[in-house]
Structure 1
Amino acid sequence: MFARLPRPHPFDVRIALAGLLGGLALWALGLGLRPPDAPGVLWGGRWPLLLPLVLTAGCEVLRRTAPRVTLPVATVALVLDQFTQGSLVTIVMFTDVMYAAVLYGSPGAARRIPWITGMLSVLGTIVPYAVWREPEALLIGLATGVVAFAPASTGLIVRNHRQAADAALLRAEQTALLAEMDRTQAVTAERARVARELHDMVANHLSAIAIHSSAALSLDDERTSRDALGVIRENSVAGLSEMRRLIGILRDDSGDREPAAAPTLEGLEALVDTARANGLDVTLEAGHGEGLPAPVGMAAYRIVQESLTNALKHAGPGRVRVALEQRSGSLAVTVTSPYGEHPDGPRAPGSGAGLVGMRERAALLDGTFEAGARDAADPAHGRIWVVRACLPVAEGESE
């Protein structure tokens, strides 16, 4: 069975029809390149001109879809045309087939054809002149270069320009894709950062409000209720102020607003005092040094803040211990609290976002984080909940 020929391109069909009609017009007018009795014309007369013309026109139809087939057939047609009176249209269509074979052919053919036609042009110049010693013999090589080497070289140049343009377009698309991925990652990271900040700022105040409001509702004691309402008011005002500050930062894109001061370990004493006012028995062992990088100080502050919030919601009765120790190249943060086992559930609901946020803060600094229940060193204290983070402090980053 014959292989199914590829469907020709419409533009190639129009080129073939134009060439065929042009060649037929010259044939009808009796215009040839040589007279019938010229040397080398084996098939004189008008009719032999049609065979090379039709073959070359057929090659033009498949110039784009089957360049490996069309070039040998067109070469045979051009050779046949040399033994007739010759048709200018056949030669012109052959040059287009040569150009298309390089432009649309395989990469190997695109490299070989210009080299082969160039060598034929050189040999067509040297050999005839060496044999005949006539200046007119040089025209053979010139004709070969015009008909074969020039269109092949042009096709190679156009092909290289197209490949360069395609490569540039591909790089532009890849750059745009990478930029979109970076933008998406930046948006995701910013959303995660805002979520951590929002949780860390507000959760502590809301947890205190929830716990003290439950106490005010469950105890029929005016003094206790008044104290609880005072704590609720303080935490609600503080939480509302933090919310307004964060919303103001998110909405203000003018660049005129001074950036809000990020929390540092210098505010740890005030944070512990607030936790004590909310009912926690907290002991602070602030063995941290000075001059820590701002990201490390902020992360340590937030981890302690969230740990105290979790202790307020979940810890059993007993002392909460906060310890910071600056070691060689790192800052260790440890918060321990009595492991609470409440039959009715925690004193305030939790979602687990706090542990996720603390782990993310440590990971952003290439640090480590762990949290879980374990037996206390003193068996009399039972089980405790331990939060431990180790935050690296790179040399040269301290302020």
Structure 2
Amino acid sequence: MTARALAAPGRPRRHDVLIAGGGLASGVLLRALHLHGGPPLLGLPASLNLLALTVMAGAELLRRTAPLAALALAVPALALDFCTGTLIATVLMFTDVVYAAVLYGPPAAARRIPLASELVSVLATAVTAAFWHNPQVLLIGIGIALVTVAPAWTGLIIRNHRDAAQTARLRAEQTALLAEMDRTQAVAGERARMARELHDLVANHLSAIAIHATAAQTLDEPAATRAALGVIRENSVQGLAEMRRLIGLLRDANANAGDEPAATPTLDGLEALIAQARANGAASGLEFVLDDDRRAAGAGTERPPAPVELAVYRIVQESLTNALKHAAPGEVRVRIADGPGGALAVTVRSPYADRPGPRAPGSGAGLVGMRERIALLGGEFDAGPEGGPDGSVWLVRAALPAAGEGAQR
């Protein structure tokens, strides 16, 4: 960065051109009015102070585009000005060049220039005092400090404030970006949760409606048609009630505080779920059995957490829905058991056979939803065909930690 500042200065800024032009014009006017510091030193012609003025004005043109190059030009120009009758315009432009070198220069220069200006002031005062024993030496030292130290430290203070403001702005932008990322992830997670709930709430009822509507169309028996229509009406009413409850929850965040709180499904509702599946699958030759070995063994007086109970309920509900759609006639067995460490193990076994097509259409989102539920709770999930003594079966297995460790992640 230093080499670029010295070798390839950019185009001067508009304000820098105005400062350089104003300083040059002021210096020429002061020289014309003979308002300069005194006679030249070392036998130099007085006209050279105009050269020093011009060089200093040229340094002002580079104050922001090449601040170190500007300082390199300004130092000998100031020395020449002192030796040829000082012009106040040249001195003032020098202070601005020092200020700009600290403010716009590289960080290393910003740290070194103030220290160098202090050292120059002390040495100049000491040398002057050694050769000229006069109280005015102190005034000379103060003047040198005003020309070098004061602009250098002013530039450093302003630079520090500017860097601090920039750092705060970057942190604010980073915080805003992280907040937007968190909001996006929260929205995506909530959408996925709503999709799982909507699918689990409605798919079971709509599948039963589709199956019995097909049976009512194909069977030419009044009694069977009336039974199918009864099942269709029952599932329609239940599905509509659950849809209304879900819509109410989405519309009103305080819906649970109303007169009819929305109950979260628990393991106690599995019996009713199996009974409903029996009614819906009777026409398809399906039998549904629930083995609750957890209760049969008298295990655990402590209830699992609500998220675990809800996940077990939804897994069983979706598995029964899939059985109604795809299972061959036979027994669908649901087993709930205690696993090691107080975990819950869920197994749903249904007859599996190649069929020309499902009894009701599906989207495949049910298995995705079950995997997501188990993953959120830190459990394990597996689903697929498996051979057995009674032929091929479709086996759904899930293991959920009783404490739901993953729910907090």
Residues 316-327 of structure 1 aligned to structure 2 (within 5 Å): 316-327=328-339
Q: 2:344 aligns with which of 331, 343, 347?
A: 331
**1:30 partnered with 2:34:** yes
Residues 295-310 of structure 1 aligned to structure 2 (within 5 Å): 295-310=307-322
Q: Unaligned regions of 5+ residues in structure 2, if any?
A: 1-5, 295-299
- Cα distance in structure 2, aligned partners of 1:51 and 1:255: 85
Distance 1:253 1:392, change over 3 A: closer
C-alpha contact (below 8 Å) 1:370/1:387 kept by paired residues: yes
Give, as a single letter, the amino acid of the residue that structure 1 aligns with 2:183: R
- Cα distance in structure 1, aligned partners of 2:345 and 2:292: 11
Distance 1:371 1:186, change over 3 A: same
Give, as a single letter, the amino acid of the residue that structure 2 aligns with 1:42: G
Residue-by-residue CA offset, 1:30-78 (whole Å, 9 max, x unaligned): 11022x27xx363354x22211111011111110000121101100100
Per the alignment, residue 342 of structure 1 pairs with 355
Distance 1:312 1:256, change over 3 A: closer
How far 1:164 moved relative to its partner?
A: 0.7
**1:367 partnered with 2:379:** yes
Per the alignment, residue 3 of structure 2 pairs with none
Residue-by-residue CA offset, 1:74-108 (whole Å, 9 max, x unaligned): 00100000111110010000000001101111111
Per the alignment, residue 285 of structure 1 pairs with 291
Q: Give the SS at the match of 1:82.
A: helix
- Length-normalised TM-score, structure 1: 0.93
How far 1:331 moved relative to its partner?
A: 1.4
How far 1:17 moved relative to its partner?
A: 1.2
Per the alignment, residue 297 of structure 2 pairs with none
C-alpha contact (below 8 Å) 2:124/2:141 kept by paired residues: yes
Q: 1:390 aligns with which of 385, 391, 399?
A: 399
C-alpha contact (below 8 Å) 1:44/1:85 kept by paired residues: no
C-alpha contact (below 8 Å) 2:377/2:405 kept by paired residues: no
Per the alignment, residue 70 of structure 1 pairs with 70
- Cα distance in structure 2, aligned partners of 1:255 and 1:138: 82
How far 1:114 moved relative to its partner?
A: 0.9
Number of residues of Structure 1 aligned to a counterpart in Structure 2: 388
Residues 64-143 of structure 1 aligned to structure 2 (within 5 Å): 64-143=64-143
**1:11 partnered with 2:11:** no
- Cα distance in structure 2, aligned partners of 1:287 and 1:11: 86
**Residues 7-16 or 134-143, more deviating:** 134-143
C-alpha contact (below 8 Å) 1:304/1:322 kept by paired residues: yes
How far 1:211 moved relative to its partner?
A: 0.5
Per the alignment, residue 150 of structure 1 pairs with 150
Q: Unaligned regions of 5+ residues in structure 1, if any?
A: none
- Cα distance in structure 1, aligned partners of 2:141 and 2:291: 96
Distance 1:100 1:142, change over 3 A: same
C-alpha contact (below 8 Å) 2:308/2:404 kept by paired residues: no
Residues 205-244 of structure 1 aligned to structure 2 (within 5 Å): 205-244=205-244
- Cα distance in structure 2, aligned partners of 1:308 and 1:395: 24
C-alpha contact (below 8 Å) 2:36/2:85 kept by paired residues: yes
- Cα distance in structure 2, aligned partners of 1:3 and 1:131: 39
Q: Give the SS at the match of 1:301.
A: helix
How far 1:122 moved relative to its partner?
A: 2.4
**1:21 partnered with 2:25:** yes
Q: CA RMSD in A?
A: 2.0
How far 1:257 moved relative to its partner?
A: 4.1
Residue-by-residue CA offset, 1:258-303 (whole Å, 9 max, x unaligned): 4522111111111111111112411111234441111111111111
C-alpha contact (below 8 Å) 2:37/2:86 kept by paired residues: yes
- Residue identity over aligned pairs, in percent, reads 60
Q: 1:271 aligns with which of 260, 264, 273?
A: 273
- Length-normalised TM-score, structure 2: 0.90
**Residues 61-70 or 122-131, more deviating:** 122-131
How far 1:143 moved relative to its partner?
A: 2.1
Per the alignment, residue 294 of structure 1 pairs with 306
- Cα distance in structure 1, aligned partners of 2:320 and 2:219: 24
- Cα distance in structure 1, aligned partners of 2:15 and 2:72: 21
Give, as a single letter, the amino acid of the residue that structure 2 aligns with 1:43: L
Q: Give the SS at the match of 1:169.
A: helix
Moved segments of 4+, more than 6 Å = none
Give, as a single letter, the amino acid of the residue that structure 1 aligns with 2:315: I
